[in-house]
Amino acid sequence: MVRANENYLKLQGSYLFSEIGRRVREYRALHPEAEVIRLGIGDVTQPLSQEVIRALHLAVDEMGSTDTFRGYAPDLGYDFLRETIALNDFKSRGCDISPDEIFVSDGAKCDCSNIQEIFAADSRIAVCDPVYPVYVDSNVMAGRTGVYDSGAGRYGGVIYMPCTQDNGFVPDFPQEIPDLIYLCFPNNPTGAVMSKDRLGEWVAYALKIGAVILYDAAYEAYIAGDDIPHSIYECEGAKSCAIEFRSFSKTAGFTGLRLGYTVIPKELSARGVSLWQLWARRHGTKYNGAPYIVQRAGEAVYSEKGREQVKEQVAYYMENARIIREGLAAAGYSVFGGEHAPYIWLKTPQGTDGWTFFDTLLTKANVVGTPGAGFGPAGEQYLRLTAFGSRDNTIKAIERIRQL
């Protein structure tokens, strides 16, 4: 008789957002007059830029004419987009990445969850704690972990790397030797960044132990300083040990449009097997390409006007981040992140646990954050706030928290 993939039964995942939803619903039912502001969402709120809209209209018109109609897109993405990406995101930063090494997709979530398929089933994975849950859950589904230990808040067989105030929310090398190392900087949920020197040390470490770094740079557009790397390929040797994920979601407001890409250098191999070839094979077998009109919209992000407009969107969110960070710091809270990332990692006052503090904010300030415990046990005494709200709501929410 047929059996389900029982690895799925190990998953804990959806508890966090369903529990937040339940608590907000219950509060609203009792206080229908309350104007609840959500600073917990990880979705953008600003509309697409005019250049992107213009490109979409043009591409839609092309699809309506026999001469310019396009059917299936090339598996790995249209050349016009891959060439633009290679030039603007990599060559301009001194990274020798060719268009051929770029795999266009419909977003970073699919890529960073699917990438584990091209590695051996018994690969040991290392993740940060707290962590973007997709890295862990995709490995749970693939059977690469043991069961969930609810006391520890962790899955068996996974190497967790605590990211705490003591290490500046940047992981130390783990005691055990991993095969795959997931790193995400600027980080969701902590908003931390890694210096180029420190990332260079991770690259050297991966090369030494023969591991591959899976580097999620979905938030690179939010980096404000010169000494923070936008790409892992800015570090020497990374082409031999790293895969990088990028997304247009938070960079250009494409969360509803869907576009991203993954970089796999041709020289990257696992015991002599080309990972580029395996991913190309996987892409060809399981994926039929991002839509033409969306790839044209992605191209427009790199035009002169597109770049300016997208920069303004990022600046809008980063001004929200500044309002949150400085407002809460002035009220005596310990806050982290929010300088090179749209996430603010707020320490709960007097060691309260995250859920208790969540309830205080909800009931006393009518503000919704995301309890840090949902990203791992090291997040227990934190709350994640995001800068993706409207300016008015952000200002109002911080004023309310300050008056608590």
According to CB under 6 A, which one of 114, 139, 231, 247 is a site residue for ligand PLP? 247
> Interface mask (CB under 6 A) for ligand PLP, residues 214-233, using x and -?
--x-x---------------
The answer to the question of residue 188 lying near ligand PLP (CB under 6 A) is: yes
Output 254 or 355, the one with its CB closest to ligand PLP.
254
Q: How far is the CB of 245 from ligand PLP (least distance, A)?
A: 7
35 forms beta bridges with none
Output 108 or 213, the one with its CB closest to ligand PLP.
108
Count residues near ligand PLP (CB under 6 A): 14
The answer to the question of residue 42 lying near ligand PLP (CB under 6 A) is: yes
Whether 171 contacts 128, CB under 8 Å = yes
The answer to the question of residue 190 lying near ligand PLP (CB under 6 A) is: no
Which residue number places its CB atom closest to ligand PLP?
Answer: 107
Task: Give me the DSSP letters along 92-157.
Answer: GGT----GGGEEEES-HHHHHHHGGGGS-TT--EEEEES--THHHHHHHHTT-S--EETTTTEETT
CA angle at residue 195 from 370 to 135, to 5 degrees?
Answer: 45
Output 255 or 303, the one with its CB closest to ligand PLP.
255
Span from 15-23, 107-115, 226-234, 392-400 in contact with ligand PLP (CB under 6 A): 107-115
The answer to the question of residue 107 lying near ligand PLP (CB under 6 A) is: yes
For residue 222, what are the CA distances in angstroms to 180, 189, 195?
26, 14, 14
370/38 Cα distance (integer angstroms): 9
227/67 Cα distance (integer angstroms): 48
Q: CA torsion, points 258, 263, 269, 270, in degrees to nearest 10?
A: -40
Span from 78-86, 101-109, 144-152, 325-333 in contact with ligand PLP (CB under 6 A): 101-109
The answer to the question of residue 255 lying near ligand PLP (CB under 6 A) is: yes
Please count the other Cβ atoms lying within 10 Å of the Cβ belonging to residue 121: 9
Q: How far is the CB of 169 from ligand PLP (least distance, A)?
A: 14
Q: Tokens representing 28?
A: 């609203």
Q: How far is CA 164 from the centre of its chain?
A: 19
> Interface mask (CB under 6 A) for ligand PLP, residues 316-335, using x and -?
--------------------
Specify the amino acid at residue 94. Answer: G
Output 125 or 401, the one with its CB closest to ligand PLP.
125
The answer to the question of residue 374 lying near ligand PLP (CB under 6 A) is: no
The answer to the question of residue 109 lying near ligand PLP (CB under 6 A) is: yes
Backbone phi and psi for residue 43, each to the nearest 5 degrees, phi listed first: -115, 145
258/141 Cα distance (integer angstroms): 23
Q: How far is the CB of 375 from ligand PLP (least distance, A)?
A: 10
The answer to the question of residue 242 lying near ligand PLP (CB under 6 A) is: no
342/321 Cα distance (integer angstroms): 6
The answer to the question of residue 380 lying near ligand PLP (CB under 6 A) is: no
Q: Are strands 273-274 and 367-368 parallel, antiparallel or unpaired?
A: unpaired
Specify the amino acid at residue 341. Answer: A
Output 178 or 191, the one with its CB closest to ligand PLP.
191
The answer to the question of residue 243 lying near ligand PLP (CB under 6 A) is: no
The answer to the question of residue 40 lying near ligand PLP (CB under 6 A) is: no
Output 42 or 377, the one with its CB closest to ligand PLP.
42
The answer to the question of residue 360 lying near ligand PLP (CB under 6 A) is: no
According to CB under 6 A, which one of 20, 24, 59, 108 is a site residue for ligand PLP? 108
According to CB under 6 A, which one of 103, 132, 160, 182 is a site residue for ligand PLP? 132
Whether 368 contacts 38, CB under 8 Å = yes
- Exposure letters 23-58 (e unless 16+ CB within 10 A, then b): bbeebeeeeeeeeebbbbebebeeebbebbebbbee
Output 107 or 171, the one with its CB closest to ligand PLP.
107
Q: How far is the CB of 248 from ligand PLP (least distance, A)?
A: 7
56/75 Cα distance (integer angstroms): 21
The answer to the question of residue 85 lying near ligand PLP (CB under 6 A) is: no
Output 89 or 216, the one with its CB closest to ligand PLP.
216
Query: For residue 285, what are the contacts with CB-CB under 8 A and spacing of at least 6?
Result: none
**Residues at the interface with ligand PLP (CB under 6 A):** 42, 107-109, 112, 132, 184, 188, 216, 218, 247, 249, 255, 260
